[in-house]
Amino acid sequence: MNLHEYQAKSLFADYGIAVPQGQAVSSPKEARAAAQGLGGDTWVVKAQAHTGGRGKAGGVRLAHSLDEVEAAAGEILGMTLITNQTGPQGLPVNSVLVEQGSKIAQELYLGALLDRARSRIAFMASAAGGMNIEEVAAETPEKILTTVVNPATGMLPFQCRKLAYGLGLSGDQIKQFSKIMMALYRLYREKDVSLIEINPLIITDAKALMALDAKINLDGNALYRHQPLLALRDITQEDKKEAAAAQHDLNYITLDGNIGCMVNGAGLAMATMDMVKLHGGEPANFLDVGGTTTAERVTEAFKLILSDNKVKSVLVNIFGGIVRCDLIAEGIITAARSIGVTLPVVVRLEGTNAEQGLQMLASSGVDFITAHDFTEAAKKAVAAAA
């Protein structure tokens, strides 16, 4: 789960990391009032959407008067922000963060993520922070410094100093940098973060370090341990089909192909996508309807698959272990009738009461294409989509 910048900055503040004074609002009038309340003579108005690259896409504006704040908020609120990270459909902007403007002497980068190859948290820092960090990483990777944390010892102060020296910091800035890095590590561990970034981490004209931007991705599998963080979820920023799927406990991920897949069990779902590809097709989605499939969930799963207009055929691949295939068949028939499925639907049932289930499908009056084995089912689905 991703957080908005203002939410991430609020966590930063809890952990003692300096951030600009600011307020998230959802109307131009509120933006004006927020700026007035903050005081000063320069403000920045920032689109709150789950993406980076906002600056380059017109989602970050400097304002030098309250009128300019209000106007900038008016332009940004309601826009569809399309950045190099969102894809062409972009993301809606329903709130802006109004902050006191900061005077920047230098833009650094500091981030941490799970290094899966090493099974450890890795910190990265660069003196070339700011809006072009992706190019820096791609073209001059030697400008990115890395240190990996040993979980037995936790982050050690020398690791912070090593990066600080590498960035060319000196004196009190080394202390400030170390404090920020230690706080990020603590935050990472305590909140089950999967990615955390400060870009830019600025050195102000008063030589103080401050987080001007904040990005946090939380580990979705650990969210159950963090009820207060769950409340920060913003489903307007998520894929609509995936959000609807989550509501029905369906494990669904949109893909680019044209064969809709409905499968029970994540392993079988993976194998089904492989089989479809092996026979020259492309899956339109990953969908695990779970081990305890009911007619209602099969119906919801069908609706999801069919709401994707790329889909040209549907492959239902169910192994009846805990669930009985006759119950699944009943679910499929009910769903197909109630939604009025017009696409070719290939069904492969195997396991408990498979024969009975296949017979029910055959005599249902709905035009299902049945298959008994996996290869045959995949071939038929690929042929039907072509």
Binding site for ligand GDP (CB under 6 A): 44, 46, 52-55, 60, 62, 101-102, 104, 107, 130-131, 199-200, 212-213
Where do contacts with Mn ion occur on this chain (CB under 5 A)? Answer: 199, 213
Q: Is 109 a catalytic residue?
A: yes
Catalytic residue among 6, 109, 185, 188: 109
Residue 362 binding result from ligand GDP, Mn ion, none, given CB thresholds of 5 to 8 Å by partner type: none
Q: Which is nearer to Mn ion, 213 or 330 (CB)?
A: 213
Q: Which is nearer to Mn ion, 197 or 288 (CB)?
A: 197
Minimum CB separation from ligand GDP for residue 32, in Å?
17
Which residue bears the tokens 């008063």?
206
Asked if 45 and 61 touch (Cβ cutoff 8 Å), the reply is: yes
Q: Is 197 a catalytic residue?
A: yes
Asked if 48 and 5 touch (Cβ cutoff 8 Å), the reply is: yes
What sign results for the dihedral spanned by CA atoms 296, 299, 304, 305? Answer: positive
Minimum CB separation from ligand GDP for residue 192, in Å?
24
Residue 295 binding result from Mn ion, ligand GDP, none, given CB thresholds of 5 to 8 Å by partner type: none
Q: How far is CA 334 from the centre of its chain?
A: 34
Q: How many other C-beta atoms are found inside a 10 Å radius of the C-beta of residue 193?
A: 24
Q: Which is nearer to ligand GDP, 131 or 222 (CB)?
A: 131
Catalytic residue among 5, 70, 107, 197: 197
Q: Which is nearer to ligand GDP, 58 or 344 (CB)?
A: 58
Query: Among the residues of the chain, which ranges form H helices?
Result: 5-14, 28-38, 66-76, 133-139, 157-166, 172-190, 227-230, 240-247, 266-278, 295-306, 325-339, 354-362, 374-385
Minimum CB separation from ligand GDP for residue 338, in Å?
44
Give the residue closest to Mn ion by C-beta. 213
3-state secondary structure of 131: coil
Q: Calculate ∠ Cα 142-147-152, nearest 5°.
A: 165
Residue 102 binding result from Mn ion, ligand GDP, none, given CB thresholds of 5 to 8 Å by partner type: ligand GDP
Q: Which residues are catalytic?
A: 109, 197
